[in-house]
Amino acid sequence: MIENLVDLLPAAPARVAVDGAGERNALVADRLAADPRFSVAAGPGWRDARPDVLVWLRTPPVTPDSPEHHADVVIDLHDPEWPVIRHVDPRLADRTRWYLSESRAFFAVRAATWDAKFGDDLPAYAAAVAEADLPVGGTAVDVGCGTGRALPALRAAVGPTGRVLGVDITPEMLAVAAERAAPPHALLLLADARHLPLPNATTDAVFAAGLVAHLPDPVAGLRELARVTRPGGRLVIFHPSGRRALAARHGRPVRPDEPLSRAPLTATTAAAGWHLDHYDDADHRFLALATRTTT
């Protein structure tokens, strides 16, 4: 994370302030100060110093008036063992510069224990796939498949004559998914969701669990999913926790401008070639279903 953060900061001499996490501010500030390009201060003194870059270390709870909303870089310390960059001001860098490396780093260290922590979500995955009413004999692609929790349900939905693909950017996740994907269940592909190694209009259904909120450009990401989907094909956007429960777990409020809020998701799906047919943001799960349009 520190290496990516250094790469994002201005090349010219810059005044950097680190705040938000009490005594942990100094740990990050010391790491940054090792680079002679930066003059680094830790703690709330930045309010008077007017730094060139404010790095905010996010710790729960996050309130609507938190200074993080004015920060240039936000680093999530919800899991102290692996801090994650959550926001970078566009003036510093396009998110595509750090999205791939941060995502891989975050999930790689969690792959081996992911199912032990979230394995009881399997019935919710099966229920979501069943509600999507996928075509028997069709091709279903789980984009961002992780440890493969949806693969058995997708196989059952398309039947023995159908085809199931699991796509993820993290090799460690795919290694865990291999057991669930063992023939004849699914074929696994190491690939970026933004650049799928699939021909145009060859997929009948795309399953995306926890993917959309992680995409640096949701419209572009959903457009890539539309590219590989036949007209009339199905998009299943799912998470085994509702948005309110997930936000509470991370100590922050739900915002109306988030990618999975109803209005933004309706707009982004339409702009990307989908029609949003169903939206259910319940306490126990999130499920949105969309159909690939013909234009």
pLDDT above 90 covers what percent of the chain? 49
* pLDDT value at residue 82: 65
Calculate the alpha carbon distances from 183 to 119, 179, 295 in Å.
21, 9, 36
Instruction: Parse the chain into domains and list their residue ranges.
Output: 2-93, 115-292
- Whether the per-residue pLDDT at 79 is higher than 70: the answer is no
Specify the DSSP element, H or E, that contains 291. Answer: strand 286-292
pLDDT at 209: 96
Whether the CB-CB separation of 257 and 264 falls below 8 Å is answered with yes
Provide the pLDDT for residue 97: 64
- Which pTM was predicted? 0.76
178-215 per-position pLDDT tens digit:
999 988 889 999 999 999 999 999 999 999 999 998 88
Mean pLDDT score of the chain, rounded to an integer? 88
Q: Which residue has the tokens 């995955």?
A: 125
What CATH number does the domain located at 115-292 have?
Answer: 3.40.50.150
Q: pLDDT (tens digit, 9 = 90+) per residue, 227-277?
A: 999 999 999 999 999 898 888 877 778 888 889 999 999 999 999 999 999
Q: What is the pLDDT of residues 135-169, one digit of tens each?
A: 999 999 999 999 999 999 999 999 999 999 999 99
The better pLDDT of the pair 71, 37 is held by 71
Tell me how far apart the alpha carbons of residues 76 and 82 are, in angstroms, rounded to a whole number: 9
pLDDT given for residue 175 in this prediction: 95
The residues pairing with 189 across neighbouring beta strands, listed in sequence order, are 167
